[in-house]
């Protein structure tokens, strides 16, 4: 994710992934072609496996290929999360008064190499994911730090990997 607009009254952060969805779409096409070829010659167990692989890669395209835009507007006191997927746009609005801070949420297995995604944490502790897919780079940590800086929230160091990278950048 990257900041595309920053001013005292608004912060807009956007993610437009293209690498992983493109590879997954390509692999899905190969599996679909293999399914059709196999079904035409000798349908069987491997046809089902190829079809399931094709469906899996298309689900990766859907999950990871979503463009996401986060808009924090201090004038309207509103946070807007917009996601574009293969099925269209979805929007979620939050009041800026309920927003506590931004965080890079780790996937279930934890550890310093955990996959992360950007989440907003509300005053009552609810985590609102900005992106649906987890990522293995430090982009969610850096974006959370930028959002917290814009909000005037002290930086929270929950991730040891992120902590050392930030420590070295000072």
pLDDT tens profile 44-103:
777 787 788 888 877 777 666 678 899 999 999 999 999 876 677 789 999 999 999 988
- pLDDT tens per residue across span 95-138: 999 999 988 887 765 555 567 788 899 999 899 988 876 665 55
Residue boundaries of the structural domains of the chain = 20-63, 75-169
Give residue for tokens 């991730």.
159
If residue 35 lies in a helix (H) or strand (E), which one and from where to where? helix 19-41
- Are 116 and 131 a contacting pair, CB within 8 Å? no
| DSSP per-residue codes, 97-157 | GGEEEEEEEEPTT-STT--EEEEEEETTS-EEESSSS-BSSSHHHHHHHHHHHHHTPPP--
């Amino acid at each position: 994710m990257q900041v595309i607009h920053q001013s005292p009254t608004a912060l807009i952060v956007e993610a437009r992934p293209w690498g992983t969805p493109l590879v997954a779409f390509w692999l899905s096409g190969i599996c679909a072609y293999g399914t059709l070829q196999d079904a035409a010659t000798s349908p069987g167990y491997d046809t089902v496996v190829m079809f399931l692989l094709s469906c899996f890669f298309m689900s990766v395209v859907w999950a990871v290929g979503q463009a996401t835009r986060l808009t924090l507007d201090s004038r309207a006191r509103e946070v807007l999360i917009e996601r574009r997927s293969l099925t269209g746009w979805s929007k979620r609005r939050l009041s800026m008064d309920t927003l506590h801070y931004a965080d890079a949420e780790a996937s279930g297995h934890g550890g310093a190499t955990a996959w992360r995604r950007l989440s907003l944490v509300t005053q009552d502790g609810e985590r609102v994911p900005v992106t649906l897919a987890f990522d293995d780079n430090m982009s969610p940590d850096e974006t959370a730090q930028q959002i917290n800086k814009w909000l005037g929230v002290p930086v929270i160091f929950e991730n040891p990997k992120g902590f050392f990278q930030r420590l070295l950048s000072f």
